Chains A and B, each alone.
Chain A
Amino acid sequence: MKTIRVGSGAGYSGDRIEPAVELAEKGGLDYLVFECLAERTIALAQQVKIKDPDAGYDPLLAARMRAVLAVCAKNKVKIVTNMGAANPAAAAEATRAIAGELGLKGLKVAAVTGDDVFAFLHDHDVALDNGKTIAALGNSVISANAYIGVAPIVEALKSGADVVITGRAADPAIFMAPLIVEFGWALDNWTMLGRGVLVGHLLECAGQVTGGYFADPGLKDVVDLARLGFPIGEVSEDGEFVVTKVAGSGGTVTARTVKEQLLYEIHDPKAYLQPDVIADFSEVRVEEIGPDRVRVNGGKGAPKTGLLKTSVGYVDSYVGEGQISYAGPNAIARGRLALEIVRERLALTGVRTTETRFDLIGVDSLHGEARTRDGDPYEVRLRVVGRTDSLAEARRIGEEVETLYTNGPAAGGGAWKSARQVVAVASALISETAVRTAVTMVEA
C-alpha cells in the first residue's frame, strides 16, 4: 500500500526553526507543513498590511524559507504553510525572491487567496459568538477571514507548486491536502477525510505530540527537550498512520503523548467541525508499535456542514498593567497592602476602568485564592491589570503600580508596566458559497 511521509515544521508562529531543518534533511519526507496562524494573528497582520501593502505575512517566513528551501528542493520535499497570514501573495513573492537568491531556479510558489471575507461581511451583517453583530462593531472591525478547506491547496499542488502559501485555512486542511493529492481521495469520501483531519490534528502543533508540553519531572519524564524532534506522519492510502520522529532527535512519541494531543482543543470528539468534513475521533485507537512509533487508526467522518467558521478581528479596548515584587518575611502582607493602595489610587485619581484584576503572582493569580497551599512563598509579585477605553487611561494603571517604589510598602522591587491596544477575535459562521478562493503561481 502506498505510504507518504508528512512532517510538521512548526506548531505556531514563533516556533523553533532547527527541528524543521532536521526533518527536511533526515525525515525522508514527501511534504513539510508549517502551521503558524493563531486565532488573532491575521487581525494583527492586517493592521501591519494597512501600513505596508507588501507586509502582513508571518514575520519568520523569510527565516524559515532560508533555512529549508534548498534542502527541500534537493530532497524533493514540497512545502505547505499558512504563513501567508493577511497577505499570501506578498509571502509568495518574498519566497520566490529567496529561492532566486538561493539559486533554486524554476521553484514554483503558489499563493492561495480568498479567505478574506471582510467585504462580504460588510455587506451581509452576521451574528457573532460574542453576542454582537458586525454592524454593531462598526469601524472597529479590522479583519474577517474564513477557515477555508483543502480544495485550493489541492489545486495548487496539482498545478505543480513546490511551495503552497495560504492565509487562513483550517489547520488540519494544510496537512490533509497533500494526502488527497497523493491518494486521490474523493472530497465526499467522509471516512477518508475524517482520517485526514485526524492526521492533521495530531501533527499541527508540531512538538506537542513528540513530548513537548508533556513533561512532569518524576511522573512523566521526557529526554532532551532542548533538541525536541518534530513529528512525522507516515500515512497509508487507507488513512491509517504512524506518528514518529527523526531517530536521535530529542523528545518521545508514546501512546500517552499522542492521546494528549488527540483531545487538544476538541469539544465533542464525535463532531470536530471542519470545512471539508465533520471528523469523528470518538473511536480512535492508539498503539505503540516500536520505539517512538505510535499507530493511530479508527478515525471516521460525516458529511460537512457547508458552513465555514470565520474569525472577525476588532479593536476591543485598551489594557494597562503594572507589576512589582516583594520578598522575605511578611512578603504577602506587603503585597496585599500594595494592592489596596493601588486600588484606592485608581479611584482617587479617577482612572476609568471597565474591568480590573488585583493578583498576587505566587499566591492567587492563576486559579484563585481557594487553591492557596499552607506555607507562605518566599516571594510574591503583585499584578494589577485593567481594561480602559483609551491608551492614555491604560497607562495610568502601570504608573500607579510604579509609584509604589517611593510611596508604597517597604522594599518593593522590579517594577514593570505596559499599556496596549487589545485586538479581540469573535467568530461567525458563513456559507461556503460566499467564499471564492483562487490560486496564483510565481516561479523563481
Chain B
Amino acid sequence: MSPVDVARYLMRRNAAFFVVLAVYALAAATLYAIGWLHSDVIVTTAIFFIVVLGLDLLYGCAGLLSFGHVGFLAIGAYSVAVLHAQFALPPLVSMLIGLLVSAASGYLLGRVCLRLSGSYFMLGTLAFGIMVHAAITVGYTVTGGDGGLGGIPRPSLGGVVLSSDRSFGLMVWSLAVVLFWLTYSLSRSKVGRAARAIRSDELAAACLGVNVASLKMNLFVISACFASLGGSLFAMYNGAVHPDSFSLTTLLDLLLMMFFGGEGTIWGALLGTTFMRLLPDITGALQGGKILFSGVLFTIIIFALPRGIAGAIEDLIHRFSVRRRLGELGPAVGEFPFIANSGANSGTLLELNNVSRSFGGVLAVEDVSFRVDQGLIKGLIGPNGAGKSTIMNVISGVLQLHGGQVLLAGQPLNGLRPDQVARRGIQRTFQHERLFAQLTIIENIMVGQERGADGSLREIAACAVGLPGSVESEIAARSKAYQWLASLGLSRYAEARVGEVPHGLRKLVEVARCCAANPMILLLDETAAGLNNIERQAFKKIIRMLRDRGLVMVIIEHDIDFIMDLCDEVCVVNFGRRIADGPPAAIRKDPHVIEAYLGQ
C-alpha cells in the first residue's frame, strides 16, 4: 500500500482533527483580532488542552477515573522550578527530567492502584495527588512551600529565547497539535478500540485477546506524562509556581474541562479547555460565585449532558448519518468468510481431564472429563447450577482450575490468562450478551478481527503515529468485518451503536465477533437464549456452516431440541459431575439424565 494511500486513509479517519483545529483557529483568530481574546488565554488553553488530552485518553477511552493527575502536573511544574533554582538547568531539560519522574511515579502508582476496584482506585490516585501537594508544602526549603517558587525563565530554542506570548505560544501550540494528532489517531485505532472495549466490558475484552493489565498501565503512564508536560509548560509560562495551583480545585477544573467538552471524544478536550479558560471572563460579574458556578455546571453536565458538548454533537451527527431501520427484518445468512484455523490434525482438539474447581470449599465442578474431537459439535447440558458455566470459565481462562488439566491440541492451558487463551485459539460467547457498548457494531467485530491488542508501547506508538503496517491491517480488518456483517445480512447495522440493534441480532453479532478471530474452538454459552424463531434458525444455519468449515464448537443451551438437533455428542453434568456423554438419542433416553432434569 503506497504512502499516499495510507495518508489518504488517515486523513479521512482523523477528519475531526482537521475540522476542529480549523474551526478553532478561525474562531480564535477572529476573536483575537477584535480584541475579545487575549494571547494569554490562547497560550494557557493549549497547555491545559495537553493535560486534558491525557485525561480523556485515560477515562474517555479506557474508563479509568484518576483523581491524582494534579500530582503529575505538580511534578512537571516543580521539576522545572526547582531544578532551575538549584542547578540552573534550562527549562526544557528540566521538563524532560520531570517527564521521567512522572513516568516512573505513574508506573508505581499504576502498579498499586490499577488492580483496585472502582472506589479504591479513585482514592488511591487521590491520595497520590494529596501526597505530592503535601510534599511541596512541607519541603519548603527546596520548593518554596506556601510562598511558591519563582524566577523560572522562558525556554530557548536554537538560541532564541521564547519570551513573548507569540513565540512561546507557537511552541506550545505546535506541541499541542502534535499530541492532539497522536492521541486522536490512537483513539481511532486498534488501541483505541481495545481501550474502549476494556471500558465497556473488561472480561469480554480479555476473552477476545486484549491484554487488559498491560494496556491500562501504559495508558496510565502516558496520561501521567501528558499531565507532567502540561505542568512544566505552565511553570515556564507563568515564570513561577505555587502549591495552590495544584489543589483539589484544579482537579475539579480539569475534570470539568473533560466532561463539559465531552469525555471520550478527544477533540472535546479543546472545547472544554477553551470554555474553562474563558469562564473567568464570562463570570467576571459573579466573581465570588465562580466556584459555585463550577459546581452547579458540573452537576448539570453529569445529569443532563453526560457526554458533554462534543458528545452531543457526535450524537447528532450519528443520528443524521446512520439511518436507523426497524429491527423487524431478521438476519439473512449468506456465505461466511470463515477460514478454519487448522492448527491441529484430525483427532482430539480439546480435552478436559479430571477438571475440578471449587468456590469457598464447595466443589462446583468435580472431576469432569470430556473430549471434543475435530469436526464435532459438542453439547454441554445440565440443570441449573450443574456447573456448565464454570466449566466454560475454566476452559477460557476466566477461572483457574483447582485440579486436573485442560489441553488444547495437546498443549496444557493451565494458568493462562483469558487473553492468552484467546490467542491460543479459543473464543467464547457469554450467557448475557457482552457487546462493547462504547463501540459501533463493526468496531466490535474488528476487535475480534485484530486479535485484541497486546497493550505494548510498541503497538501504541505504531497506532498513534499511523505507521503503514498498522493502517494496512486496520483497513483489512474493517473490510473483513464488513464481510462478516454482510454474510449475516446485517451490513446496514455496521455503523450503528450497540443499543440501536435488537437483542437477538446483537447475539448473532457476538458470534460473528468471535468467529472473526479465526479460532480453533468456539464456546457458545447459552447464545440462543432470547432469540426469536427466525433468529434461532439463522443461528443454527451459522453453526452448521461453521462446522462444515472446520470449526469445533461446544454449546451450552437449555433448549433441548436445539441441542439434539445440532450436536453430534452431548455431555451431561449435574452437581458438578459428568453423568453422561454420548450421542443425543442415547442421552435423551438415559435414566440418569431424566432423573437429573425431572428429579428423583
Same complex origin of A and B: no
Chain A residues proximal to chain B, CB less than 8 Å: none
